[in-house]
Amino acid sequence: MSAALFGALDEARRNLRPDPTLAEVGIVAEVGEGVAHVSGFSELLIDELLSFPGGLYGTASTIRQGMAGIVLLGDADHLQTGDEVRRTKRTLDAPVGPALLGRVVDGLGRPLDERGPIKAATYWPIERHAPAIMDRAPVSRPLQTGIKSIDAAIPVGRGQRELILGDRQTGKTAIAVSAMINQSAEDVICIYCAIGQRTSAVARVIQNLKANDVMQRSIVVTASGEDAPGLQFSAPYAATSMAEYFVERGKDVLIIYDDLTRHARAYRELSLLLRRPPAREAYPGDIFYIHSRLLERSAQLSEAKGGGSLTALPVIETQAQNISAYIPTNLISITDGQIYLSPILFQKGILPAVDIGLSVSRVGGDAQQRAYRMVAPDLRLYYAQYEELEAFSRFGARLDKDTRQRLERGRRIREILKQGEHDRMTMAEQIGVLLAATSGLLDAVAMEKLPEAETVIRRDLPDLSSQLSAKEGLDDKGKSEILQAMRTALENAGLISGEETSS
């Protein structure tokens, strides 16, 4: 038996032929905080994915003669000079598909929620071309946020890019998450992309989504401040590819980028480490392009392309109310409008602290329900007049009756725009309350009783869903009937008297 065994081994040795595998291997020449410089590649492509020892990956970001700058996508503490680097001949991609719904993943689509691996439908590159102009359709459908100051004065349409900006701790994330939660009754898929946020802040968002039964139709993509800058940079592009999978299948998707200030800072850090020449505020020259190529992917697709939409609500942080700084002005010029949150209003307890005067929606008005047009023009006009007269009245000058009336109405309008973080209003409730304020119905109500008056109106408002959702909105007769019904409800509650309203 031993002779047969040795014979078989000898036969195998004689038949053994070398089977070499061709692989282009580079050498780590230098390792930095989040980047590495690699030498030895002659045919490396820009944005190509490279494999490092220990399961670490990186993307080729800068290619020079004999040296390539690589953005690392993970912890590189184990990486040393002289380690081998291999090409993968593919670009960075992310998992997409329905299996991601309800999951929490990192910037590469790897699960973070301890619920096992994700069975992705397929993998898509994180960098994809924006839809062509001929593949887009006009923004014509509203995306209700449930916040009356936004839905009435700064409407958002499906397929729009509406910037949320304001100083630190003014409620930017709260507005974005409220918009996500308000889609629980709509067929809208939501994606929350946290960039450079604290882990505890992201955990609160996830808990909020679960408490409102929205998580099962949402995806949370997070790259925390402790993650590598490369992961923070790639996270929003990966989240957008996950969203585009559903958009191309005719779905409506809402994506939140929270926030792009930290995204810009992560890219600045990487660019400086890769020895790129700095420009204004030490940002690289292509800082505008990294955000434009991201946000241009949000659109309303034409019927020929399935009719899906991707609505983007990017968040950005300002400093000392300076909305004319470098990154804010870049994003204002890219997006279709902005919702500005004022720290002054926040300190006064006016929440949400939306400054209607500095906020604008450039396309949302075309998607707004016609019924809102009964209140939106008067709302903006009275609010602007009130802000101007409020500053004037501080000088202590004697005011005429008309000016005092405008001031009182403006105070009530600003007070009625207050709304709790977890209080989302239907379209009928919003229009009813705002119509009562702009028409003067609440002028006789004491300021401290306005919350009670709003509760009465919302409780006793006639069922207007069919009329308000109609394309033509309400006519003058319908408006009069609504006002009379609200007047009767307020009189029955003892908040106003017949003599006050008739006068």
Does some domain include residue 5? no
Do 411 and 486 lie in one domain? The reply is yes
pLDDT of residue 20: 66
Distance CA 36, CA 81 (A): 9
**Quick one: 479 exposed, middle or buried, by C-beta within 10 A (0-12, 13-18, 19+)?**
middle
Residue from 202, 177, 180 nearest 189 by CA: 180
> 68, 72, 21: which is closest to 43 by C-alpha?
68
Token output for 120 = 């992705």
Final residue of a domain: which of 90, 118, 138? 90
Instruction: Based on the fold, state whether residues 301 and 380 are members of the same structural domain.
Output: no
Residue 314 lies in a domain: yes
| pLDDT at residue 398 in the model | 75
Residue 352: φ, ψ to 5°: -65, 145
Q: Distances in Å between the alpha carbon of 91 and those of 41, 55, 126, 274, 400?
A: 16, 16, 8, 19, 69
Distance CA 350, CA 502 (A): 31
Residue 100 exposure: Cα atoms within 13 Å on the Cβ side: 29
Q: The sheet that has 360-361: what strands, in order across it?
A: 104-105, 218-223, 188-195, 252-258, 309-317, 163-166, 337-341, 360-361
Residue 7 lies in a domain: no
Residue at a domain's end among 317, 346, 365? 365
128 in the same domain as 63: no
Are the beta carbons of 416 and 454 closer than 8 angstroms?
Answer: yes
Overall size of the chain counted in residues: 503
Claim to verify: residue 258 and residue 313 sit in the same structural domain:
yes
Q: How many domains does the chain have?
A: 3
What is the pTM for the complete model shown?
0.92
Domain assignment of residue 19, yes or no: no
Domain range holding 49? 25-90
What rounded mean pLDDT belongs to the chain?
A: 90
Low-confidence ranges of the chain (pLDDT < 70): 1-3, 5-6, 9, 16-22, 396-397, 462-473, 498-503
* Residue 76 belongs to domain with CATH number: 2.40.30.20
Residue 135 and residue 114 share a domain: yes
Give the 3-state DSSP-derived string for 245-283, with helices as H, strands as E and coil as C.
HHHCCCCEEEEEEECHHHHHHHHHHHHHHCCCCCCHHHC
Give per-residue pLDDT as tens, 317-374. Answer: 999 999 999 999 999 999 999 999 999 999 999 999 999 989 999 987 888 888 888 8
User: Which residues, including other chains, have CB under 8 Å from residue 330's CB and lie 6 or more apart?
Assistant: 287, 288, 291
What residues act catalytically?
362
H-assigned helices in 86-228: 148-153, 172-181, 199-211
Query: Contact at 8 Å (CB) between 380 and 437?
Result: no
User: Would residue 20 count as lying in a domain?
Assistant: no
pLDDT digits (tens, 9 = 90+) for 226-250: 999 999 999 999 999 999 999 999 9
Q: Is 14 inside any structural domain? A: no
Question: Are both 353 and 395 inside the same structural domain?
Answer: no
- 378 shares a domain with 354: no
The answer to whether residue 13 sits within a structural domain is no
Same domain, 316 and 446: no
pLDDT on residue 351: 93
Looking up residue 110, the CATH number of its domain turns out to be 3.40.50.300
Same domain, 76 and 162: no
What is the domain-level CATH number for residue 413?
A: 1.20.150.20
Residues 178 and 316 in one domain: yes
300 secondary structure, DSSP code: B
DSSP letters, 146-163, are S-HHHHHHS--BTT-B-E
Please check whether residue 305 lies inside any domain of the structure.
yes
User: In this predicted model, what pLDDT tens digit does every residue of 87-135 receive, in sequence order?
Assistant: 999 999 999 999 999 999 999 999 999 899 999 999 999 999 999 999 9
pLDDT for residue 428: 87
Q: Verify that 105 and 207 share a domain, yes or no.
A: yes
Q: How far is CA 306 from CA 135, 137, 246, 247, 295, in A?
A: 10, 11, 10, 8, 20
Residues 319 and 347 in one domain: yes
- Structural domain ending residue among the three candidates 56, 90, 124: 90
- 8 Å CB contact between 467 and 432: no
